[in-house]
Chain A
Amino acid sequence: MSGSLNLTNDFVVKFANVNGSGSASANSMFAKSVLRMGVPVAARNIFPSNIQGLPTWYEVRVTGDGHLGRRGGVDLMVAMNPQTWDRDIAEIESGGYLFYDSTKVLPESKFRDDITVVGVPLTRICNEVYSVPRERQLFKNIIYVGALAALLGIEIEVIETLLAEQFAGKERLIKANVDALHMGRDYVRTNLTPLGLQVRRADAVGDRIYVEGNSAAALGAVYGGATVCAWYPITPSTSVVEAFTDYCAEFRIDAETGQAKYAIVQAEDEIASIGIVIGAGWNGARAFTATSGPGISLMTEFIGLSYFAEIPAVIMDVQRGGPSTGMPTRTQQADLISAAYAGHGDTKHPMLLPQDPGECFEMGALAFDLSDRLQTTVFVMLDLDIGMNEWLTEPFKWDDTRSLDRGKVMTYEDLESGVDFGRYKDVDGDGIPYRTYPGVHPSKGAYFTRGTSRNPYARYSEEGHVYVDNMQRLLRKFETAKSLIPAPELRKSKTATRTGVIYFGSTTPAMHEALEILASKGLHLDALRVRGFPFSDEVYDFIAAHDRVFVVEQNRDAQLRTLIVNEGDVDPAKLPPVLHFDGTPITARFIAAEIGTRLGATAPRSPVPEAAE
């Protein structure tokens, strides 16, 4: 049809599949083939809390300009799931394309007249070649990848190479898959013409890598020197520990003895997981757990102990939709408050807020230095979007001169030299006391660790001034943390402006794209990406330097904004929230529309924002 979209290296393909049908690896190969042609992609799984049978989607944004956030809207729907047909068809942009299995003839009413319909009889092709049901199902996925390659201009050799890598050493499987790939391609060549959506070879990927945040954070834990990991399975964090287990099996086995330089325990629940982590941290090992919101709720008592007894621990929280069981396979940034203030009484904990898998690695390692240095629990706040999707990210870097910062630990020699040891004594004025590892010295340095109030020498005390002094020291320590948390990242607008925006984590790529959209409409904002908690002065200076600062985040209650207001001297009216919390990753279109609408009323020119999806 005449109004069809004509887009090169800038379109969205969405695959609608049935969970458990083997589509995931085929779809992922599709995305990777675009990457291998030098064109950036942003791919996201949208999946149910289910193993087999329910609908699942995979969205691939082909983005020559490198916009890695979710765009919103679909230009090509690969509709492989009859259950969701109607809503899938409805989601296609006007002028877009529908790819479907045309084996079964569907009535005209099942289609739309403002889209281009492309039918390939996938089931028929499969049934003619394969007799085993499982083969029919798996190869059908490869056949559609072959057909899509021909329709979208993806080089077939690129996919052949990917198949050869995936099935390295299994020649028979490689050949079978390549044959299926060719079946799809050949059908299109014979019967159809390429679409208006095309992938053209480019050089826009550079040396970037393509990896899930959970794997990256796990690798960070390996490089951060973690030796003890205790965990309880929970979506979407489970793959952190799976990846840690794999990396350890590869890099942490003693070459001579074959023994493990690590210990991983699947505990009976999240309470035991954090208990094991705290026991190991108390005893001088670097230990962590990975969990999600419900796990944080369960761990809260222990986190309070870690705060008050000052024991290092690292928690990787891969956030999902809450509250309660909420939306376990959807993404949110909704654990900020429960993590920051976990525990009864007056408590607060440092958090790191990675924007992508690259920072998951960096902060995954840094968290262990910080928790040793600050002797407290440090959170690494991932979310499902970063954690469970492969993202294009800067390659991992490591400085070989860097060593593990174990913080203030008194050695046998220190104790022997007669230095006065008080476990909770603020010797250096930074609120951080010195500690000893159990068993270090026969007669010096032992103390009784407890969650009860005690004096600087770790002796039990309920005297008011002793308690208050200790609580004030903990606040001083939290002040010290501000200088150790990664500094916020400022993106100044090219045009001077009194309007700002604060954002963090997985919102980042959508935010950056939204800033471009807004700028193109004459709306300029300075942007500050917060990278951790507690907030440094730069965050409050930024707010002070602007009349109005939007706070963009993915939860209902504006949790980052709440923390900013609570921890500093800010008029809340200055911080209008922009909130996205339906469980899907936030999009540039959404942010631009929200901010655009609100600025539109006062902006010199009155731009018409794009509709939110």
Chain B
Amino acid sequence: MTYLAKPRLHHPSLSPNDLGFTRRDYEGSVSTLCAGCGHDSISAAIIQACYDLNLPPHRLAKLSGIGCSSKTPDYFLGASHGFNTVHGRMPSVLTGANLANRELIYLGVSGDGDSASIGLGQFAHAIRRGVNMTYIVENNGVYGLTKGQFSATSDKGSKSKRGVENHESAIDLVSLALQLGATFVARSFSGDKAQLAPLIRAALAHKGAAFIDCVSPCVQFNNHSGSTKSYDYVREHNEAVNRLDVIAKRAPIEVDYAPGTTTTVTQHDGSVLALHKLAAHYDPTDRIAAMTYLAQRQALGEVVTGLLYVDPEASDLHDSLETVSTPLTALGGKDLIPGSSVLAKINADLR
């Protein structure tokens, strides 16, 4: 129950990170989602990623829209401010929050209904604006909270639990994000924490619009045969292009993988992404190639996962607007009010 705080029992075996926080410090309220829900695994991966990154929990702001996925920010990072906004509109609220205070880290959590249907416009515009954020879509291809309607990411020809076939084309948010200019694009699977947690870590360290599409089976309404977002389907058709390690900027960079199978990418903040290539010739810094590769694999019915594209030198909305480095929230009257002498000059010009 969300109105119950999770009991804070500190087990002696819980090891603290560099900041002295244990994984428990990154947890939130008890989840009210169904047992086995993919979304809870994503929450766990977010907790893991923040713990690993040594993030002070209160310096992250978590925002969401409406739906099962959008409820999850209550279930992680209890010490962070959270904002459960209105349906499909998380991106604009996150944009405003980011403009107000550029020093916090912004995590937007959404679902396929929230981002691909009602919120497709805001999804697109926040990405093309280059808002510095990590935007995770917990994609189950179904409306869970209203009990099983198709969403805009449901594959054409897939069947609902009631046996109804979907006749509408699916929106692939990953392809869309690439096309719109996201500077970090990844896809993962809620059942693959080993892949997902490092992706979230890398996205949080990325400066610019980072998008992760996370396939997350709905155990109640979209985990049957005939669904392309079920545990079984994804496990059978998953085509991972790489495995990722994120090396913090302070740690010595030791990449001991055999040449030819590992690529390293240094991000803006100095963090190094070490990618163990699984697919031959996959270059995550080539946007056009990524789009082509995705389209080819999609045609074969495969779900490509991994870090699909990253621009390590990306800029963000604050760069475009050339805002001061001090957060706008920290500016006071002295910085903002021109005063009465300026007003006297303005008056004089208006006579």
Contacts and interface: CB of A to CB of B under 8 A. Distances in A.
B336 A446 contact: no
A558 interface: no
B329 A397 contact: no
A446 B122 contact: no
Closest 9 interchain pairs by CB? A279-B96, A275-B92, A438-B81, A285-B100, A276-B96, A279-B93, A280-B96, A283-B100, A209-B350
B347 A302 contact: no
Given A279-B95, A451-B85, A210 B324 contact: no
Given A228-B100, A275-B96, A404-B333, A451 B84 contact: yes
A280 B83 CA distance: 12
Given A285-B329, A396-B343, A396-B346, A446 B79 contact: yes
Nearest to B326: A261
B97 interface: yes
A437 B93 contact: no
A225 B124 CA distance: 30
Interface residues of A, number: 73
A260 B93 contact: no
B77 to A, nearest CB: 9
A223 interface: yes
Given A283-B96, A446-B78, 4 more contacts: A265-B317, A302-B89, A436-B81, A438-B61
Interface of A: 207-211, 219, 222-223, 225, 227-228, 230, 251-252, 254, 257-265, 267-269, 271-285, 287, 301-302, 305, 395-400, 403-404, 436-443, 446-452, 455, 459-461
B340 interface: yes
A411 to B, nearest CB: 13
Contacts of B80: 438, 446
Nearest to B58: A442
B333 A279 contact: no
B29 to A, nearest CB: 8
Interface residues of B, number: 62
B104 interface: yes
Contacts of A447: 81-82
B167 interface: no
A276 B323 contact: no
B321 A264 contact: yes
B15 interface: no
Given A223-B338, A282-B83, A272 B331 contact: no
B337 interface: yes
A178 B323 CA distance: 44
23 contacts: A222-B336, A227-B329, A228-B328, A261-B323, A263-B318, A263-B328, A265-B129, A275-B95, A275-B122, A279-B99, A280-B100, A281-B100, A283-B61, A285-B101, A301-B89, A403-B333, A404-B332, A404-B333, A404-B336, A438-B81, A443-B79, A446-B79, A460-B3
Nearest to B335: A261
A284 B347 contact: no
A267 B99 CA distance: 13
B61 A439 contact: yes
Interface in B47-96: 56-59, 61, 63, 73-74, 78-86, 89, 91-96
A438 B342 CA distance: 34
A396 B347 contact: yes
B340 A210 contact: no
A442 B95 CA distance: 23
Q: Give the secondary structure class of A's interface.
A: loop
A194 B350 CA distance: 30
Contacts of A271: 89, 92, 122
B84 A398 contact: no
A438 B121 contact: no
A572 B169 CA distance: 56
A446 B81 contact: yes
Nearest to A284: B329
Interface in B236-258: none
Instruction: Name which of B85, B339, B342 has the most chain A CB atoms within 10 A of its CB.
Output: B85
B325 interface: yes
Interface in B1-52: 2-3
Contacts of B156: none
B86 A302 contact: yes
Contacts of B342: 251
B340 A276 contact: no
B139 to A, nearest CB: 22
Contact of B58 (A400, A446, A460): A446
B147 interface: no
B93 A276 contact: yes
A267 B328 CA distance: 19
Contacts of A439: 58-59, 61, 81, 101, 103-104
A396 B56 CA distance: 46
A301 B86 contact: yes
Contact of A283 (B56, B318, B329, B338): B329
A227 B338 contact: no
Contact of A276 (B95, B121, B333, B335): B95
A301 B318 CA distance: 28
A391 to B, nearest CB: 11
A445 B174 CA distance: 36
A285 B103 CA distance: 13
Nearest to B19: A442
A459 B336 contact: no
Contact of B95 (A208, A252, A265, A399): A265
Given A260-B322, A260-B323, A449-B83, A395 B347 contact: yes
A263 B336 CA distance: 13
Given A278-B93, A398-B343, A442-B58, A285 B336 contact: no
Nearest to B341: A400
Contacts of B281: none
B116 to A, nearest CB: 16
Contacts of A452: 84
B125 interface: yes
Contact of A279 (B100, B323, B331, B332): B100
Nearest to B83: A449
Contact of A282 (B2, B89, B97, B324): B97
B96 A448 contact: no
Contacts of A273: 92
